[in-house]
Amino acid sequence: MKIFRISNLLSLALATFFGVLLFWTSQAVQQKEDELAEIKGNLSHEQETIRVLSVEWDYLNRPQRLEKLAVEQLGMEPPGGEEMVKTVNDIPEPLLIPNDPVYHDVSLKPAPATVVPKKETVSPSTAEKQSFEKLIQSLDGGGQ
Amino acid sequence: MNPFKSTNIHFTGQKRSALDTARGRLMVLSLFFILTYIIVVARVFDLTIIQGEMKKNKDSVSFLEAAPVEEKVIHRADILDRNGVILARSLKTASLYADPHLISEPKVVAKDLVKVFPELSYGETLQKLQSEKRFVWIKRNMTPDDQYKILYLGHPGLSFKEEERRIYPQGPLAAHIVGYTSVDDHGLGGLEAGFDKLLLEGDEPLMTTIDVRIQHALRRETANAIKQFDGVAGAGVVMDVNNGEILAAVSLPDFDPQHVNEKNKDALFNRLTLGVFEPGSTFKIFTTAAAIETAGANMGDVYDARDAIKIGRFKISDYHAERRLLTLAEVFMHSSNIGSVRMAEKVGTAEFQNFLKDLGLFHAPEIEIPEVGAPIIPKPWREINTMTAAFGHGIAVSPLQLVTASSSIMNGGILVKPTLVLDKSGKGHKSNNVRVVSEKTAHRLRQLMRLVVTDGTGGKADVPGYNVGGKTGTAEKNEGGRYEKNKLRSSFMAFFPAENPRYAVYILVDEPKGNKQSYGFATAGWVAAPAVAKVIESIVAIEGIKPQEGDELGGTLAAYVKTKEQIAKERELAAFQTR
């Protein structure tokens, strides 16, 4: 009785092939699953971070705060009705000082930039960030 | 091709026995079964492992058997302003606690914790970690970033408890509109309460009609006016007259929705929608509109404002007394009480009542927040009530109602419904185009309001290039049944641009006191009008509205307003005649 007949060999090879294929596929799938789970974890973490950061963004961009900073740091003031102009032509020409070399002699190097004295509150990021954290902390009324 | 045909398996040799034939058939059969089983196994794997998981949680497909069951987090929905700026959002905050029994190296853990949270003291933390308890709080409500750092440390015995917290990044800015929530995430005021169910369902954010920039400008100017004139409270609103959208709504004093003090009823009270007040002269808008609309009054009609009106124990007199015959335009411009009473008399009690009812002044307005005050209407309504209502006394309505009703006239006569929720379809909230006054009457009112600002009591509300129209309202506060001469409610109702109004701006200051700059006056023209002008200046800058070349309505009523010379001449003539 022949065992190693072509038909037997063929079926054995076929079975082995499918077995290996199945194992390989299942391994590949599992690997992808792991990757997916990690990506999902990162995604939800990022989403939660975005939620927090967008709140922080809007907190730091409160109109009150921007106005205060613009007034204190940039010397700006709320616009009056007359600041709005009808057309571009209504914008006044920059005031030229007749003998100011800056406007006349192109070869002149620009004057050294004057260092604007910075006020203490110029870096609001740290202080404001802390105040945001305080806001979150204080939610519980400080109770432990 | 049929595999079972005997001709197909005759491959083993030419001489074949019956046994060979049988073996051959067996082989074919077993091959067939192997193939079938492979298919069945593959199919079973597909159905149970792959598709079965998919069906189990339809929206979050998890192929991983070991994957943690993903909970779909439903946050209480956000409340946004009309540009998407966050007014309220629920954030997941983690609180760190420790089980000291599970911590083997308290010193190392304490050291690491202090590294992440510099504000914790090493000694205290160590003490907590060495205690005999099974549960100690280390840090409440931390940011996700800090949480990640703790997880990264990987110390056993440290765990998190996650909680949802409602955050209001704008603070008190729109506190009365947005409202606030209880500890268990239920809305207790404003939109938080009005849309509590919808917000709890999550996902879709609630987009309001508020614009935080305009809201800030309105709040700033209202607060400034209160501060400058030492008032006790105030309210303000900016409304789009064409669709009733409320761009800004302020009630002062206000509160921080993050830390609500339930006992501070004064701050929680929404003066704009819940408070009802005697509106004073701003009510003359309706009296005049009624006279023009229903009694066919003309700009040149003359009303006798020479003497105060006495009815029983009441005496109606003018604040800015002219003591002469006034045209309708002059009555409105000088805000003459006597003239307004004469006007209302001309309209008639029944007609006047119906007119006010049509404007929605007799019942509580519909708006999306629960704090809505019903107007106080005298019952029964006698003739005297018509007379006092003519100049805004003896009837109390909320500022919101006042603004809505005036907007309904100023937009060309179509009734508007106030709304706080942005209609994304862009159809607006005009309630089925109900007409309350004719376009002609609306135009007359626009002319009159412009006249008040160009020549009358509201001069300080003017913003050059924007043709502001408006009406002052100074009401004496009624305390214990009598009117206090020194306790006023000064308000100003403005519309711009007057020829085709788009915005209504209203500011009310409660109990302003005159100061040096106002020469002791605490009336609307001195208190509320300049504040309104500043709000308008801010609005045009925020919205980028270009100034206009001309002033279409300014001076159109000059023919009905007597100049000083004319008045002097008239007086002379009258004196001559009586001599």
Predicted ipTM of the assembly: 0.73
Interface test with B, best of A8, A76, A84 (most B CBs within 10 A): A84
Interface test with A, best of B63, B120, B152, B551 (most A CBs within 10 A): B63
- The verdict on A35 touching B (C-beta cutoff 8 Å) is no
Are A51 and B547 within 8 A, CB to CB?
A: no
> B325 and B304 in contact (C-beta within 8 Å)?
yes
Any idea where the domains of chain B sit in the sequence? 1-72, 79-207, 214-566
Among the partner-chain residues B34, B86, B140, the one whose CB lies closest to the CB of A55 is B86
User: Which of A15-24, A48-57, B472-481 is the least confident region?
Assistant: B472-481
- The verdict on A89 touching B (C-beta cutoff 8 Å) is no
> B163 and B92 in contact (C-beta within 8 Å)?
yes
- Compute how many other C-beta atoms are within 10 angstroms of the C-beta atom of residue B292: 25
pLDDT tens digits, one per residue of A70-85 = 999 888 887 777 777 7
Query: What amino acid is encoded at B51 in this protein?
Result: Q
Tokens of A12: 């054995």
Are B465 and A54 within 8 A, CB to CB?
A: no
Q: What is the pLDDT of residue B459?
A: 85
- The verdict on A126 touching B (C-beta cutoff 8 Å) is no
Is the predicted pLDDT of residue B494 greater than 90, yes or no? yes
> B399 and B506 in contact (C-beta within 8 Å)?
yes
The single residue listed with the structure tokens 């102009």 is A85
Pairing of strands B246-252, B302-304: unpaired
Helix (H) or strand (E) holding B104: none
pLDDT tens digits, one per residue of B287-325 = 999 999 988 888 888 888 888 888 777 778 877 777 788
Helix (H) or strand (E) holding B329: helix B328-333
Closest CA to B493 of B463, B524, B518: B524
Active site residue B95: no
Is the predicted pLDDT of residue A123 greater than 50, yes or no? no
**CB < 8 Å to B538, chain A:** 78-79
CA distance B287 to B345: 10
> B498 and B467 in contact (C-beta within 8 Å)?
yes
| Sign of the dihedral defined by the CA atoms of residues B472, B477, B483, B485, in that order | negative
Helices (H) and strands (E) in chain B, counts: 19, 14
Residues B79-207, CATH architecture: Alpha-Beta Complex (3.90)
Closest CA to B505 of B543, B562, B546, B477: B543
pLDDT tens digits, one per residue of B378-425 = 888 888 888 889 888 889 999 999 999 999 999 988 999 999 998 776
- Mean pLDDT (whole number) for B162-185: 87
Please state the φ and ψ torsions of residue B98, each to the nearest 5 degrees: -130, 150
Is B141 in a helix, a strand, or coil?
strand
> B325 and B273 in contact (C-beta within 8 Å)?
no
Q: Place A28 in a pLDDT band, splitting at 50, 70 and 90.
A: very high
CA distance B366 to chain A (A): 30
> B290 and B299 in contact (C-beta within 8 Å)?
no
Q: What fold characterizes domain B214-566?
A: Beta-lactamase (3.40.710)
- The verdict on A144 touching B (C-beta cutoff 8 Å) is yes
Mean pLDDT of chain A: 75
Is B88 in a helix, a strand, or coil?
strand
pLDDT tens digits, one per residue of B101-143 = 888 888 888 888 888 888 888 888 888 888 888 888 888 777 7
Please state the φ and ψ torsions of residue B182, each to the nearest 5 degrees: -80, 175
